[in-house]
Amino acid sequence: MTTSATRAPTSGSPLPKASPNLPLIIVCGCLIALLSFGPRSALGLFLAPMTEARDWSREIFALALAIQNLVWGAAQPIAGMVSDRFGTARTLAFGGIVYTLGLLLMAQAESPLLLHVAGGVMIGLGVAFSSFSLVLAAFGRAVTPERRSLAFGIGTAAGSFGQFLFAPLSQGLIDGLGWHDSLYVLAGLMLLIPFLAVALKGKPAAYVPGSAIADQKLTEAISEAFRTRGFILLTFGFFVCGFHVAFITVHLPPYIADLGLDPKWGAIAIALIGLCNVFGALAAGYIGGRWSKPYFLSLIYLGRAIAITLFLMAPATPLSVLIFAGTMGFLWLSTVPPTSGLVAVMFGPRYMATLFGFVFFSHQIGSFLGVWLGGRLYDQTGSYDVIWYIGIALGLFAAVVHWPIKEEPVARLAGAPAQ
């Protein structure tokens, strides 16, 4: 005789859903963000030794990283769709493997074409499919709406800590092993991502019949986003973030050396940016959860424009480099928690990985132009001055663009319970 306590559920009864292991998700997600963001943020340190060893111009190396940023951006919406359809863990594992292969092939690149394929296309794909964008989407599913902004800040801070960690690590490896073997070491570390990804298994919940929120297909979600004025403005604004971040990551170390300072200050500056952004991202997550995200973004971009202006006006000293790096660090990826948070507020978490992927594509178009134009204009003029001035103008543009964005759900979600 079967009792009610042991009776199997009927075919129409849903099985109870297990609660996610939130601490494990946060820890493994942060480690993935650290590993994914770390090596690619330190690749600017390989510019000088690789171009000297291969007798390449700076534009050749810069173009490879520009391609990387563009491929990363173009693939990010696709990675988001794959993650939303097949789950976060599989997507991240695939990205980690491609990332590893890209670094290995980059070490063997003896022609510009192979460098552009390995360091550009393959690493770009690897970063897209293992990026913190997917990690943040997983966090968005696991935490309550009230805690999303803080969770996004923690995930972003982890990526920034990767920059802080991998800048001196990469420089130390280059000094001790040479750039060639250093890329092998970095490739080995990327193999940890598929194992960590297991903790982030899962995908957005399907539509529940009878829900207060109307069902929506992926194509409908994309169409709705691009009909929303705030989403368009957010996309334009994030272009500027990519331009600033990519240009400074790749070209600040050689720029500092061009000023006559010891090249070690370039690695120190990149590491300091990453360290300060750990705190900047955490603060941004906290602030974005309590005050206006659009106004906060405007202030961040205005602060960047002011910081660049003062850096160009100040005498070239280690102190001025440290002050600039620290200031930019606090403003670095502090844009990500409020930007991703606005996407979640406007459209909910169901297709967040995909929709934030489109916003991030704009970011990476800016990254492509920042890296490539930096090398191009330097080779033509022998100076980075023009690109710095463009960066100032874009910072002011972004400050204006974010101000009118409305922090509210689209009409489809208005009045529905928070997701």
| pLDDT profile of the chain (419 residues), mean per 10 | 44 50 84 87 81 81 83 86 84 93 90 90 92 78 72 78 81 86 92 90 54 64 87 93 89 87 84 83 80 92 96 92 93 85 81 82 86 84 90 95 86 57
> CA–CA separation, 307 vs 23, rounded Å?
37
pTM: 0.72
> CA–CA separation, 155 vs 350, rounded Å?
19
What is the token pair recorded at 12? 């129409």
Which residues, other chains included, contact 342 with Cβ-Cβ below 8 Å and sequence gap of 6+? 230, 234, 293, 294, 405, 407
**In this predicted structure, what is the pLDDT of residue 89?**
86
What is the token pair recorded at 301? 């971009």
> CA–CA separation, 55 vs 133, rounded Å?
36
**In this predicted structure, what is the pLDDT of residue 202?**
65
Distances in Å between the Cα of 107 and the Cα atoms of 44, 91, 119, 178 are: 14, 25, 9, 11
Specify whether the CB–CB gap between 22 and 200 falls below 8 A: no
